[in-house]
Amino acid sequence: MKIRNFIIPIILCCLFPNLFTISADKEDQQKAVFKNADQIFRPNPLWFWNNSKIDKIEAENQLTDFKEKCGYGGVSILPFGDKFSPEYLSEDYFDLYGDIIKKATTLQMKMWIYDEYGFPSGSAGAYNADSYSRFGEKYPEHTLKRLDKTEYRPTPGKNFITELSQSKLMAAIAMDTVTMQRINLKSFINNHQLIWNTPKGNWKIMIFTCEKGSDKIVDYLDPTAVRKFIAMTHEKYYKRFGKYFGNTLVGTFFDEPTLYRENGRCWTKDYNEKFEKKYGFSPDLLYPALWYDIGKETQSARNYLFGFRAELYATGYMKEVNDWSHKHGLLATGHQDNEEIINPVGTSADLMKCFKYLEVPGIDKIGGNRPTERFYKIISSAANNWNHSLVMSETYGDMGNISWEQIFSIAMDQYSKGINLLIPHAVWYDTEKVTFRPELSHRNPLYSDSLKAFTDYLTRLNVLLQNDARTVNNVAVLYPIHTLQGEHYFDGPLGYYKGGVEIPDMDYIDLGVMLTDKLGRDFSYLHPDVLSEKCSVSGKSVRLNNSVHSGNYSYLVFPSCKTISTENLKKAVQFYKSGGIIVFTTQLPSKSAETGNDTFVQNTIKSLFSDCRNIGENGKISTNKKGGKVYYIPTITDRIFSQILNDRPDEIEFKGKPLRHIHKTSDKTDIYFFANPSAESITTEVILNDKKNTELWDPHTGTIERVPNKNTVRLVLEPYKSIFIVTKQ
């Protein structure tokens, strides 16, 4: 098997030169790395330099203890709190940081560069720090912007006259609130004065302006602004520590950018120009849809506007940080804030696409009744969709002093759902000033006795799962971003922090949790762009045509979709006609993400079910001569989905209770990870379909056991235990 270290392959080659060059020794060396839980795969926690004056000797001693007493492989230093010193980004700060890099190098530990002072990323100190935005003070014109709307009710038959502000005008639109007719008023503006002779009707005039926000964080939608932030932070590290990049310093980490700031209306001044360059028409007449129903074009207008904002967000902060990191020999990772919002349009814009250009997509599993575990598959699927191999989770923050059972349960749940880089949150410089428990070091008496066993466990998971092996499953679930965008609007009733708008009947997360947690069936979310642009139909399969992380799906599931891309729907029809199985749940599509194609969507859905029969629970099914099936399931249940999925079983079948699992394959090696994150023992039989040279690799102990060459392997997993099955051809 080709092992790819999460740092960079070249580092592995230096540490284990024979691992890639001598095939006869490769398997033995892999087993040795697994059994010994070697240093290079060890977890790297966040190390909070919290509200304290950091002493060089004390910090060096702590770093040594983190390796020797905790089993950590490195750290990511996080300056935090208003009493932190030396001053962030000062020469004293970098002198101290350099001393720690040298110590880490001596200890053969790795470090990730945390890009902020406190969090969220983008201010260089404004939040959870000293309340001073170094970025905002230096570049006030490059901080966050906000889209505002001013409304007027003109009198029909009279001239409407108003003075406009000096702010950047995005659109000036008159809309008849009865007929939904819209008129672009920009041609009636002269010297910041609007004069319009109002015709008969029920008119509302809306002036949309891009305003300077109150938040002194970098404009996430503007690559130029982001590059200035990178120059202020990332470049400072490279200037001083460039010789350590790619060896001791291995990656960058950003924390909690989001679009819920500025009342959830983050915008940018050159939005219109970039929009028109991409689409070939002005977005002006679409702007009212950001707040109101504008008639039959509402869903398509919102998809254009919110969809383009999502693209600007992905290519703004995330891509710029990733490109800089890649150029300097580093990986880049990070995560959004409020990932657990079912409607992400007002927070992360598009929780899959925002990771399109990031080499290591990430998520944050923290306390506070925020069930991010329901969203792990969104992040790991984003990685697969855009051909990335690593998936990060910042884990355990603000959860209190949880039990070892909870700690292990969370970890194995994550790794069974595609995460393969768990960053523990956290270890703290001053254990008397811990803000977000738990403190995961040897100094915490609750964890000191077993912490090394846990870091050994994570290390062994990393050995087998941090690689370029592709994930194998045969169920693809459409990520319904077109419906989410089509129903979203600004200033919604939930408030900006919670995403603004709760969209009814959205079942895509419940569906995913049912598949993995109840049915033991792995799956992948497919982004609509990826389904249209990177997938092809081949017989009874939909193929994801990636160079590394390809996919082959027997089922194409459309969870509650009011609005759908016409290209996605055409792909679905092609799949059905060639013998594929399609499942629509809860709500059938009726609107198009593109303007003017609603009738096509409605007629296509009608034709798919023109010759159907009823099935249980008010569902229906159509079939064709090639074995194609298309279902409509108005209410998802594990019983009916289990029946549907029995038609074309996965490569993994269970005789007994199913287990959460992931299957990866590469170079004639198959790796199966099975997890029992529950408090009850599970005994089951796993059918692997003609696999040979089968071994059980235990990540808890490092033991490896050969099992007979049988298709069925009996597993007995005690509570909070997991196991690998490794087969080689």
Q: If you write DSSP's letter for every residue of 584-650 in order, what string do you get?
A: EESS---EESSTT-HHHHHHHHHHHTTTEEE-STT-EEEE-TTS-EEEEESS--HHHHHHHHTSS--
Asked whether residue 443 is assigned to any structural domain, the reply reads: yes
Pairwise CA distance, residues 471 & 478, whole Å: 17
At residue 689, does pLDDT exceed 90? no
Q: Are residues 672 and 719 in the same domain?
A: yes
Asked whether residue 295 is assigned to any structural domain, the reply reads: no
Question: Integer distance in angstroms from the first to the last C-alpha of the chain?
Answer: 11
Domain extent, residue 118, equals 48-133+224-263+316-466
Q: Structural domain tally of the chain?
A: 4
Asked whether residue 31 is assigned to any structural domain, the reply reads: no
What's the DSSP call for residue 155? P
Asked whether residue 349 is assigned to any structural domain, the reply reads: yes
Q: Are residues 661 and 635 in the same domain?
A: no
The proportion of the chain whose per-residue pLDDT surpasses 70, expressed as a percent, equals 96
pLDDT of residue 690: 66
The model's confidence at residue 667, banded by pLDDT at 50, 70 and 90, is: confident
Q: Contact, 103 vs 60, CB < 8 A?
A: yes
CATH number at residue 682: 2.60.40.1180
Asked whether residue 207 is assigned to any structural domain, the reply reads: yes
Q: Are residues 414 and 336 in the same domain?
A: yes
At residue 3, does pLDDT exceed 70? no
**CA distances for 35 relative to 76, 547, 703, 704, angstroms:** 26, 31, 6, 8
Mean pLDDT of the chain: 94
Last residue of a domain, one of 421, 447, 466: 466
Q: Contact, 686 vs 725, CB < 8 A?
A: yes
| Cα 574 off chain centre by | 29
Q: List, in order, residues 6 or more apart from 492 with CB less than 8 Å away.
A: 264, 346, 499, 500, 501, 502
| Cα 606 off chain centre by | 34
The model's confidence at residue 13, banded by pLDDT at 50, 70 and 90, is: very low
Q: Which residue has tokens 């984003």? A: 382
Q: Are residues 480 and 623 in the same domain?
A: yes
Q: Are residues 351 and 413 in the same domain?
A: yes
Q: Are residues 411 and 476 in the same domain?
A: no
pLDDT of residue 668: 86
The model's confidence at residue 388, banded by pLDDT at 50, 70 and 90, is: very high
Q: Contact, 154 vs 198, CB < 8 A?
A: yes
Asked whether residue 505 is assigned to any structural domain, the reply reads: yes
CATH number at residue 639: 3.40.50
CATH number at residue 253: 3.20.20.80
Length of the chain: 729
Q: List, in order, residues 6 or more apart from 400 with CB less than 8 Å away.
A: 367, 437, 438
At residue 6, does pLDDT exceed 70? no
Q: Which residues pair with 545 in a beta bridge?
A: none
The model's confidence at residue 22, banded by pLDDT at 50, 70 and 90, is: very low
Asked whether residue 279 is assigned to any structural domain, the reply reads: no
Can you spell out the DSSP letters for 175-217?
EETTT--EEE-GGGEETTEEEEE--SS-EEEEEEEEEE-S--S
pLDDT of residue 368: 86
Q: Are residues 372 and 513 in the same domain?
A: no
pLDDT of residue 17: 35
Q: Are residues 561 and 608 in the same domain?
A: yes
Q: Are residues 96 and 241 in the same domain?
A: yes
At residue 2, does pLDDT exceed 80? no
pLDDT tens digits, 246-283: 999 999 999 999 999 999 999 999 999 999 999 999 99
**CA distances for 361 relative to 6, 356, 419, 420, 445, angstroms:** 13, 8, 9, 11, 33
Q: Are residues 638 and 671 in the same domain?
A: no
Q: Contact, 45 vs 78, CB < 8 A?
A: no
Asked whether residue 393 is assigned to any structural domain, the reply reads: yes
The proportion of the chain whose per-residue pLDDT surpasses 90, expressed as a percent, equals 92
| Rg over CA atoms, the chain | 27
Q: Are residues 407 and 442 in the same domain?
A: yes
For residue 113, the surrounding DSSP H or E stretch is strand 110-114
Q: Dig out the tokens for 682 from the structure.
A: 């599970």
Query: Is the whole model's pTM more than 0.85, yes or no?
Result: yes
Q: Which residue has tokens 């002006």? A: 284
> Would you put residue 685 in left (φ > 0), alpha (ψ -120 to 50) or beta?
beta
Q: List, in order, residues 6 or more apart from 280 with CB less than 8 Å away.
A: none
Q: Contact, 510 vs 516, CB < 8 A?
A: no
Q: Are residues 521 and 411 in the same domain?
A: no
